[in-house]
Amino acid sequence: MKNILLVFLLTMLFSALAVQAQPRPEIKTFVDVEYVSGGISIEEEQALAEMAKDFTLKVVMALRCGDYLNNINVLILDKDGKIVLESVTDGPILYVNLQPGKYKVLASAHGEQYKKNVRIKSGRQSQIVYYWPIESRACDEGNNKQ
């Protein structure tokens, strides 16, 4: 019985260490703006959630049915039209650390471009969600399930 308990505890310990060993998505910099994107896997989505507090803007990109998208071209302009971020996302979630102010966020993929305005306030995180009206087999299969 003691051996079973020992094996169980060791298994739990190594499992916990393996989960903690998941690499965090890389924080990148465009000029002086830090950002990170990802969220393809559950582990990566969890790692991003842990990093979220360090960013002032969260952008989520998905199909209308809720399936996530990646490889989205994102351009963020400040109130004067200056580019503060230009990137292609590594997943459906993008976190950006912007200074307080007004910004225009453009996201484009699959021949569609969407624009939203956002105001970043000190000490708060703003969020934008983009939905593409693209037909997808995954969406069709999900919608047909009863």
User: For position 95, which CATH number holds?
Assistant: 2.60.40.10
Is 5 in a helix, a strand, or coil?
helix
- In a domain, residue 5? The reply is no
State the residue range of the domain holding 44. 25-144
What predicted TM-score, i.e. pTM, was given to this entire model?
A: 0.78
User: Distance between CA 38 and CA 56 in Å, rounded?
Assistant: 16
pLDDT-based confidence at 135, cuts 50/70/90? Answer: low
- In a domain, residue 17? The reply is no
- Other CB atoms within 10 Å distance of the CB of residue 86: 14
- In a domain, residue 48? The reply is yes
Spell out the alpha helix ranges (H) of the chain.
Answer: 2-20, 42-51, 137-144
- In a domain, residue 4? The reply is no
Q: Scanning the structure block, which residue is given the tokens 């979630």? A: 93
Domain count for the chain, please give it.
1
Question: How does pLDDT run across 17-65, given as a tens digit for each residue?
Answer: 444 556 789 999 999 999 999 998 899 999 999 999 999 999 999 988 8
